[in-house]
Amino acid sequence: MVTFAPLFVFTLISLAVGHEVGNSGGDYPLVVSTWPFLEAVRAAWTAVNTGFSALDAVVEGCSACEELRCDGTVGPGGSPDENGETTIDALVMNGATMEVGAVAAMRYIKDGIRAARLVMEHTEHTMLVGEKASAFAISMGLPGPTNLSSNDSMEKWIKWKKNRCQPNFWKNVLPVDSCGPYKPEDNVNSVEYTCLINNAKFRSKSYHVGVHNHDTISMAVFDKMGHIAVGTSTNGATFKIPGRVGDGPIAGSSSYADDEVGACGATGDGDIMMRFLPCYQVVESMRLGMEPKLAAKDAISRIARKYPNFIGAVFAVNKNGVHAGACHGWTFQYSVRSPSMDDVEVFTVIS
């Protein structure tokens, strides 16, 4: 892990109240990212501050996080699925043109954000998935195929298997044995039922989402011309069911940008958050005149009303560079670099 910069702590006074910090005069460039991924923010800042476009810079920033395997939740070598395999979800969005490129459940390719950009720039599509996304990325010059597992991810997976594949993401099922295969409860006959361990039904436990087992880098960059781009990269939820796609590659969920308004980035329980498109909500609320702190609070509160036990967070930043964060169920941190700062600064939001 990189060393955290000094923290600026703002205590929230209710369920999902955000704090708000101004960027002096709306000066550009500006980089905002989920979590204290300092080297990723520095990489994006170096690029954008030397004249690169917002799109170039957000790709550089997210790519640095993939290479560093930030928290084990970005890039290769982390978050094994039920089969022990690591896959990649990523997205990039151009706030000037509203173009989006994304890859989901991509196997064998470590450069998620670069693959997403290739989808945006060289196809008429928005998203490619699975092995076909991998084949596309290789055909466009990215290195692969590559084994995305690591010693750490395999050790985690083996330990999980020894724990009878608990916790997991199944519900309303009965396993043939402790690690499946699984069948719907209503379709399991009495003979199969008696073969279950202790004749007991196995229901998946509530899986705790946390920084070190289920997370995302979501980054927004404003370049010197005021254009905005956002990017997201993640290796998804640990021990997910193979084929699962979370919010990472979904425009409007993990991130969203519009040059006319601003940008948003999100992190947390993507399976729930993607049902609400929180970043689209944030940007559209700001379009209607809502300040970033209220837009962030509103988006999180909408989810919390329906899912009071969910864990997640967003940052919001408007076109003037005013930024804020809101969260629910955990303590959230986001990182900022602007012309008025000597280095990256980390802001803490408490739910």
Cα 335 to Cα 348: distance, rounded to the nearest angstrom: 9
Q: Are 239 and 80 in contact (CB under 8 A)?
A: yes
Cα 266 to Cα 117: distance, rounded to the nearest angstrom: 19
- Supply the residues annotated as catalytic: 216
Residues constituting the chain? 351
Q: Are 6 and 346 in contact (CB under 8 A)?
A: yes
Residue type, 65: C
Cα 184 to Cα 173: distance, rounded to the nearest angstrom: 4
Cα 58 to Cα 337: distance, rounded to the nearest angstrom: 13
Peptide bond connecting 29 to the previous residue in cis, omega within 30 degrees of 0: yes
Burial of 101 (0-12, 13-18, 19+ CB in 10 A): buried
Cα 49 to Cα 31: distance, rounded to the nearest angstrom: 10
Helix axes 112-122, 54-68, angle to 10 degrees: 150
Q: Are 293 and 316 in contact (CB under 8 A)?
A: yes
Cα 269 to Cα 210: distance, rounded to the nearest angstrom: 9
Quickly list DSSP for 45-91: HHHHHTT--HHHHHHHHHHHHHHHTGGGTSSSS----TTS---EEEE
Cα 113 to Cα 330: distance, rounded to the nearest angstrom: 27
| Phi, psi for residue 342 in degrees, rounded to 5 | -80, -25
Cα 328 to Cα 301: distance, rounded to the nearest angstrom: 8
